[in-house]
Every structure is written in C-alpha cells, then in structure tokens.
Amino acid sequence: MIEVNNLTRRFIDKAFLRKVALGVLKKEGKEAAEVSVALVGSKRAAALNKKYRKKDTVANVLSFPAGNERIPSEGKEYLGEIVLCPQQVQKEAGKYGMIFKEALAWMFIHGLLHLLGYDHEQAQEAKQMEQKEHWYLSRVKNLNLR
C-alpha cells in the first residue's frame, strides 16, 4: 500500500504517485511493501532538511528508511516515508526541461530508490542509482504525464 498525505493546497494526483511507486516496487521485487508519502510546503521541507541533514535549504525530496520494520497487523514490510515538496519540485522542473508531473515522478523515484537501499555517496553507487532513475522515469513518461 502506498499512503499519500497531501499537506499542501496544490492538487497532486495521488493515483499517479501510487502507479509510479507500484511500478518501481514491483520491478525491485518489493510490490507488497508499504510506503508513506507526505507532500509538504517549503517551510516544512526546509525545517526537515535542516533537522535531519543539517542543510539550510528547501529539500525537494527527503527519504526516511524504516529499516526492517513490519506493519504489525498485516506482517508487511514497511520501507519508510518519503517527503516531497511540490513547490520546490516546481521551481526545479524548468531547470531540467521537465513539466511538473515528470519532475515530481523523478524526485519520487529518487526517494523510493533510497528507501530500497540505493545511495549516491560513492561514484559507482551514484552511477547505478542515476541509471535506475532514468530507466524508471522513461517508463513513467509512457504514462500520460499531461
């Protein structure tokens, strides 16, 4: 299950986010896993980024892996939570020549990959993660993004 909590005033297509997540999770062999998604405003994204990453900027995406937690009532694996800031994603979309929905999908995929254990601290890890991001994003583009 993909739980999406929109704490902003902007309309976000929750079904689209769920579809993106299920595509990634299925391909990664985790289709039964649970993920929480929170969409927040810039102030909250900046506060979370400062608190957890010691960075004084607005984060476009933050990932909080849960480790090996299970949801007690269901016995399903809980991967963690992704926090997305639609306002920041919108600001950055044009920089990458993307429409908002495509940029949101990209940041969401990036966050999911972190929950799945991928990282970009070392050059080889970064290359692998970037390749996966682009591969998944190319599949998302086949969905009608407009």
DSSP string, 99-144: -HHHHHHHHHHHHHHHHTT---SSHHHHHHHHHHHHHHHHHHTTS-
- Give the pLDDT score at 126: 79
63-96 pLDDT, tens digit per residue, is 999 876 555 555 678 999 999 999 999 999 989 8
| CA-to-CA separations, 83 to 27, 46, 80, in angstroms, rounded | 22, 11, 10
Give 88: exposed, middle or buried? Use CB within 10 Å, 0-12, 13-18, 19+: buried
CATH number, domain 2-140: 3.40.390.30
Point out the residues of the chain with pLDDT beneath 50: 145-146
pLDDT given at position 146: 47
pLDDT confidence of residue 83: 98
Q: Is the pTM of this model over 0.85?
A: yes
Three-state DSSP class for residue 48: helix
In the chain, domain spans:
2-140
The sign of the torsion formed by the CA atoms of 45, 55, 91, 112 equals negative
